[in-house]
Amino acid sequence: MPPLATTIQAHGTSGKDGLLVKLLHVVGARPNFMKAAPVLRAGRGARGLEQVLVHTGQHYDRAMSDTFFSDLDLPEADENLGVGSGSHAEQTARIMLGFEPVLDRHRPDWVVVYGDVNSTVACALVAVKKGIQVAHVEAGLRSRDRAMPEEVNRLLTDQIAHLLLTPSRDGDANLVAEGIPASRIRFVGNVMVDTLLHLRDRARERQMARSLGVAGGDYAFVTLHRPSNVDESQPLRELLGSLDDLSRRMPVLFAVHPRTRKRIAEFGMESLMERVRLLEPLGYLETISLLDTATLVLTDSGGLQEETTVLGVPCLTARPNTERPVTITEGTNRLVPSDRVAVGRAIEAVLASRAAGEFRPGRPEGWDGKAAERIIQALCHDL
């Protein structure tokens, strides 16, 4: 692969000389939106920069997509591929087919992909094969668990992207260990934290705990959607059982992903949910508002592990591993097996630590609200 600077010159564009740099940002699924929003915002002020936003349509429900566009002040997408749901092969193939003509129309200097969802790897693959440079935001994270679709997406995207923008130093180390030259790696920090810090006050104004009648007391906030937890009946039964146990001690607010809702119905597990407060998937501001004042969070989400670390809220992650180890070493996160007894014990331990004042907001290096500025700098000026 030629050095980056050479390839950009070959395209004939460089922010340095005041010429136009065109970035095409790809979003598709819920966790992409809060990562792209600050980069688009930082780019808006940059001279000589043109930006295009493409939504693959991987997520399409109002609650999984539109709400985030309005909460995050994202501009309307310039293109929506409308791919919707399907098997991994169907979804990935539809995204690739839909994306190719969009690239031909816009001919950007860079395609910027975010995170680890199917839209990320699909669009990265189309772009590199067409000779267009790809920058991967949130590069280098590894769970070392290839049974996770996201891990496969991360590995492949990082292998083919030209510029790997990492959120934490472990990301750099992982990439170097995979033989990726240091010249392709740039540590920029965590863009999700840019969004969190930018919108925290607006989120607090939502006062979600008050509207749900749990303000001032203990409550747990829960999300679960990983295939390994919800697609098989046994781990799902264990986790729902632990929510039932916990709901005898404090209100349990469970924002249910469409995948999980479908499985609960299919497995006939509604009775385990009788004491749990079921919520529709929440918007960004509603989620942060509830996280901010929760006693504890139980999740298998990637983003919530990071957000709870910054907010200083104890988080139990129902997974055997995490691609975000700094949330454990520097933050408030603990891993717990998807097992009713183990979750119960972990909750006891969390409540004891919390009573002892052991949870404090954690700020790993580069989680400072300025990651998006560093990304724009890297894409438009440094290279």
CB–CB of 166/140 below 8 Å? yes
Does position 267 interact with ligand UD1 (CB under 6 A)? The reply is: no
Does position 228 interact with ligand UD1 (CB under 6 A)? The reply is: no
Question: Which H or E element spans position 126?
Answer: helix 118-129
Which one, 325 or 369, has the nearer CB to ligand UD1? 325
From candidates 14, 67, 118, 327, binder to ligand UD1 by CB under 6 A: 118
Which one, 245 or 280, has the nearer CB to ligand UD1? 280
From candidates 40, 52, 102, 117, binder to ligand UD1 by CB under 6 A: 117
- H helix runs in 276-339, sequence order: 284-292, 302-311, 326-329
DSSP 74: P
Does position 32 interact with ligand UD1 (CB under 6 A)? The reply is: no
- Going by C-alpha positions, the residue among 119, 321, 157 that lies closest to residue 229 is 321
Q: How far is the CB of 362 from ligand UD1 (least distance, A)?
A: 22
From candidates 23, 26, 31, 299, binder to ligand UD1 by CB under 6 A: 31
| Six-digit token string for 114 | 């975010």
Catalytic residue among 88, 225, 257, 381: 225
Q: How far is the CB of 194 from ligand UD1 (least distance, A)?
A: 19
The Cβ-side half-sphere exposure at 227, using a 13 Å CA radius, reads: 8
The 3-class secondary structure across 143-175, one letter per residue, is CCCCCCHHHHHHHHHHHHCCEEEECCHHHHHHH
Does position 259 interact with ligand UD1 (CB under 6 A)? The reply is: yes
CB–CB of 346/316 below 8 Å? yes
Q: How far is the CB of 341 from ligand UD1 (least distance, A)?
A: 27
Stretch that binds ligand UD1, among 37-45, 102-110, 114-122, 337-345 (CB under 6 A): 114-122
Q: How far is the CB of 249 from ligand UD1 (least distance, A)?
A: 28
Does position 85 interact with ligand UD1 (CB under 6 A)? The reply is: yes
User: Which residue is it, tokens 């290279």?
Assistant: 383
Separation of alpha carbons 46 and 50, rounded Å = 9
From candidates 61, 73, 232, 348, binder to ligand UD1 by CB under 6 A: 61
- Whether 225 is catalytic is yes
Does position 266 interact with ligand UD1 (CB under 6 A)? The reply is: no
From candidates 79, 109, 138, 150, binder to ligand UD1 by CB under 6 A: 150
Does position 55 interact with ligand UD1 (CB under 6 A)? The reply is: no
Does position 30 interact with ligand UD1 (CB under 6 A)? The reply is: yes
Does position 192 interact with ligand UD1 (CB under 6 A)? The reply is: no
Phi, psi of 123 (to 5 degrees): -75, -35
| Six-digit token string for 172 | 């750099």
Strand partners, 297: 221, 315
| Six-digit token string for 70 | 């309005």
Phi, psi of 223 (to 5 degrees): -135, 140
- Tell me the catalytic residues: 225
Chain contacts with ligand UD1 (rule: CB under 6 A): 29-31, 58-61, 64, 85, 116-118, 149-150, 225, 257-259, 262
